[in-house]
Amino acid sequence: MSFTLGTTSMTPPIALAPMAGITDRPFRDLVRSFGVGLMVSEMVASQEMVQSKPGVRERAELSADVENTAVQLAGREASWMAEAARQVADRGARMIDINMGCPAKKVTSGYSGSALLKTPDHALSLIEAVVAAVDIPVTLKTRLGWDDNCLNAASVAARAEAAGVQMVTIHGRTRCQFYKGRADWAAIRAVKDAVSLPVLANGDIVDSQTATAALDRSGADGVMIGRGIQGKPWLLAQVASDLWGNAAPQVPEGAELIQMVSAHYEAMLSFYGSDLGLRVARKHLGWYMDLAQTPAPLRRAVLIEKDPAEVLRLLPDALSQPQREGAA
């Protein structure tokens, strides 16, 4: 199971989901270091990027010119979406992904993200504008529908394919479900049956077993993994090894784990600056310590510490617990 989108080879067909505040450049570089997979940037607001709002261009430039990397754009106006697409393409982006899946109220209240499922004609105008603006592949990420009374992912995907979209990723929930309940992988099959382009299944895929189940039930061509990778940057490579026979990643333990987490921490401080970097790093350190089963007092000490040097001093003890959960 493999396919090519422009210069990007989806071999094997596995991708890192865009997650705001998580799949930033330091984390994506770390995931990439384990090999395989399509990297998708954090969602970039098209109008804010074109207007040079602080911080937005940095998100759009997250390894945009690196192989197997897509920049995800969100918006509600065709002109802004098209101009943002042109700008990231000029910066070397290999692929553009259109966000029609974000359920956050601050996004949907602006008629972007998954709110576009309620207005498929308008959504199509955005897709057409982006496809016409660039020569690189355009993909689409969306959900099953707005709610149980608006399950229109299959028809939206078919129209997107006709407009020139080259791949669709479906999160197996409606917008109104947010992240509650379980992703309905079987419902993704209707989208796969409606199009001839590649389809990725997304939602609740946290290891090789759930990836296999999602592929079986959806009939999808591949998977996109989001929250399951938190604290496990090797997970894409592990799933690729288990499902498609790629080389197994060397899952870091002991001194190697401490070195990896410390380097990731320092990369976040370098990328964001010390003040913001400290805040951004806390969630990642928390996930690493979840996996290490760090005792609560030590965990708290790491997360409230404001001196980077002291955090680095504490990490060896925090990550050297005798029992850790499985790698995948």
Which value, to the nearest 10 degrees, does the dihedral of the CA atoms of residues 184, 187, 188, 192 take? 160
Catalytic residue, chosen from 17, 102, 237, 240, is 102
Distance in angstroms (rounded) separating the CA atoms of residues 218 and 8: 23
Which value, to the nearest 10 degrees, does the dihedral of the CA atoms of residues 98, 100, 101, 107 take? 100
Asked whether the bond before 12 is cis by omega within 30 degrees of 0, the reply is yes
Length of the chain, in residues: 328
Distance in angstroms (rounded) separating the CA atoms of residues 95 and 6: 8
Catalytic residue list contains 176: no
Distance in angstroms (rounded) separating the CA atoms of residues 61 and 73: 12
Distance in angstroms (rounded) separating the CA atoms of residues 56 and 50: 9
Per-position DSSP letters for 94-141, written without gaps between them: S-EEEEE----HHHHTTT-GGGGGG-HHHHHHHHHHHHHH-SS-EEEE
Residues carrying an active site annotation: 102
